[in-house]
């Protein structure tokens, strides 16, 4: 059997498969179905300073090749994540976990990252810079190199653990944003977050989602995500977590050839709760099929 293990920002993983934030809760929910220690790690639900109920319902719309969601960062807030969610997770997951952090201001990012950085089980901080920047009229921090750089610089000043900046695809030039994060000390980048999408109900003639638009994810986004990972790999030296439309072990190999050191599985978990486990189980056979002895050796192999 080939070697599945990889390294992400200096931390070893048994394999590169990482359920993506927002699709795997805080882990223990899935631990009722299977031993989640078979995963490389996972990124838990986006955490903010204050508890958030999220957006009004309906929040999800189905599509032919994916789904649209507008959950609105529903979470119990960082205090309860630390006091309640992480202790429950520790009972079922015995590896470092990736903490996803969301914020609406620089101060919020700094506070939440600082708090989670102090938690023993947190291995990486995945900093979602696709949230609205309240002080600049609602535009996402990740929409400009300057905005992305400002968050990166701020969180790196208060953390010791690796910071992976999660980038939005809803930009003209994702490469310049990735380079700006690297220049301010980011330890890695994860891409892509969801794309903008919507559905309209033909009976009511109104948008299906109460928020009108939401984040589009699923298999149809895979070629876009792959292209962006490929481009960013050629521009930065820091590790990349490739996310977007991954549903099979073959997709994982393709993402790694494009330049990903690890691979996020998102919408697939919402459709099939065993999706990530199945991908891990299928990887050895896919490696054998394509003559791959060591997964880490193929990172960026398509360049």
Catalytic hit among 131, 163, 181, 270: 131
Determine the Cα–Cα distance for residues 86 and 88; give it in Å rounded to an integer: 5
Q: Is 270 a catalytic residue?
A: no
Question: Which residues fall within 8 angstroms of residue 216, CB to CB, at 6 or more apart?
Answer: 63, 66, 67, 68, 194, 195, 196, 197
Provide the 3-class DSSP secondary structure of residue 40. coil
Question: Which residues fall within 8 angstroms of residue 210, CB to CB, at 6 or more apart?
Answer: 55, 56, 57, 58, 59, 70
Task: Give me 243's structure tokens.
Answer: 């996310």
Question: Which residues fall within 8 angstroms of residue 33, CB to CB, at 6 or more apart?
Answer: 273, 274
The residue written with tokens 């980048």 in the block is 189
Determine the Cα–Cα distance for residues 83 and 69; give it in Å rounded to an integer: 28
**Which residues are catalytically annotated?**
131
């Amino acid at each position: 059997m080939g070697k599945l293990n990889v390294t992400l920002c200096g931390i070893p993983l048994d394999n590169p498969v990482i359920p993506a934030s927002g699709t795997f809760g805080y882990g223990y929910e899935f631990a009722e179905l299977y031993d989640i220690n078979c995963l490389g790690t996972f990124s838990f639900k986006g955490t903010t300073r204050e508890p958030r109920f999220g957006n009004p319902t309906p929040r999800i719309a189905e599509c032919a090749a994916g789904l649209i969601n507008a959950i609105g960062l529903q979470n119990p807030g960082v205090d309860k994540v630390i006091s309640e969610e992480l202790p429950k997770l520790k009972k079922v997951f015995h590896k470092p976990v990736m903490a996803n952090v969301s914020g609406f201001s620089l101060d919020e990012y700094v506070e939440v990252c600082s708090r989670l950085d102090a938690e023993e089980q947190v291995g990486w901080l995945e900093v979602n810079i696709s949230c609205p920047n309240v002080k600049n009229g609602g535009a996402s921090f990740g929409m400009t190199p300057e905005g992305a750089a400002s968050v990166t610089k701020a969180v790196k000043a208060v953390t010791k653990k690796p910071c992976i900046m999660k980038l939005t695809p809803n930009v003209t030039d994702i490469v310049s944003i990735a380079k700006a994060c690297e220049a301010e000390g980011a330890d890695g980048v994860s891409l892509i977050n969801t794309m903008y999408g919507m559905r309209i109900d033909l009976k009511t003639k109104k948008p299906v989602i109460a928020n009108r638009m939401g984040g589009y994810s699923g298999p149809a986004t895979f070629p876009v995500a792959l292209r962006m990972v490929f481009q960013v790999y050629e521009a930065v030296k820091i590790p990349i977590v490739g996310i977007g439309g991954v549903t099979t072990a073959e997709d994982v190999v393709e993402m790694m050839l494009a330049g990903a050191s690890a691979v996020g599985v998102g919408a697939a978990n919402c459709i099939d709760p065993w999706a990530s486990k199945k991908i891990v189980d299928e990887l050895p056979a896919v490696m054998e099929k394509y003559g791959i002895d060591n997964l880490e050796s193929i990172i960026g192999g398509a360049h």
